[in-house]
Amino acid sequence: MNLLRKITDGVTDERIYRRIGWMYVSFFLLYVSVTVLSYYLLPEGILRGKHPIISRLQFSPHVWVSTLQIFGYNLIPTTLIIACNLLAQQSRLVKERFVPIGYTAFWGLTILFAVITGSWSFGVATAAPPLHYRLVGMFDILHRSGLLEFSAYLLAAVVSFKFTLWYSDRKTIIASRKDGERSN
C-alpha cells in the first residue's frame, strides 16, 4: 500500500518531471503485472476482433494517408484523456490529493493494452511469442508503436494535469478553479 501512496503523491506532484517519472512507474508496473496475469489466466486471442472500432478500420494502401488515419485514431484517446482531466477526484489513498480522471482513462487504456498483449489478441493473427518477448518487445520502437503511443498518452495526461477545473469528493463537486486555485 505504501507504493500506491508514493505513486499517488508522485503523479499529483506540482513538478512536471516528477509527475512524468511517477506516471511511467505506474504505467510499467500496471502493464507488466496485467500482461503477466492475462498471459497465464486468459486464452490466447480472446479479444481478437472484439473491438467495435478497430475491427472495422480500413487503412489506405497509401503510406501517407494511412499515417494520417493512424494519427487521427490516436487523437481520440488523447482528446479523451485531456477532456477527462477537467475533473479530479479525491484520492482514496491520500485524502488531501486529487487525481485527475484523465489519469484513470490512461490507466484503463494501459490495462486494455496489457490484456491484448498478454492474451496475444492483436488484430493480425500471428504466432504468439513467449511472455518475455511480449514484455521486451514493447521497447522495440522501430517495429512496434505501443510505447510511443502510450508515451504520447502519458504526456498528454501529465501536461493537462493543470487544466483541472472541478474537484470532486467522489459524490459532488467540492471546489472549482474559479473558487480559487486548488493545490494538490
15-68 pLDDT per residue, tens: 999 999 999 999 999 999 999 999 999 998 888 767 666 666 777 788 888 889
Radius of gyration of the CA atoms of the chain, in A: 18
- What predicted TM-score, i.e. pTM, was given to this entire model? 0.87
pLDDT tens-digit profile of 102-146? 999 999 999 999 999 999 887 667 788 889 888 888 888 887 888
What are 4-17's pLDDT values in tens digits? 999 999 999 999 99
Whether the per-residue pLDDT at 184 is higher than 60: the answer is: no
Cα 147 to Cα 56, 97, 115, 137, 179: the distances in Å are 24, 28, 15, 10, 38
pLDDT at residue 183 tops 50 = no
Instruction: Give the CA dihedral 102, 108, 112, 114, nearest 10 degrees.
Output: 100
Looking up cell 487523437 gives: 75
Give the chain's end-to-end CA distance (angstroms, integer): 20
Residue 15's CB is within 10 A of a number of other CB atoms, namely: 9
| Rounded distance between C-alpha atoms, residue 86 and residue 139, angstroms | 31
pLDDT of residue 180: 52
Phi, psi of 2 (to 5 degrees): -60, -40
Q: Please report where in the chains the cell 498518452 appears, as a residue.
A: 153
- Name the more confident of 58 and 152: 152
Contacts from 53-61 at CB under 8 Å and sequence distance 24+?
54/123, 55/123
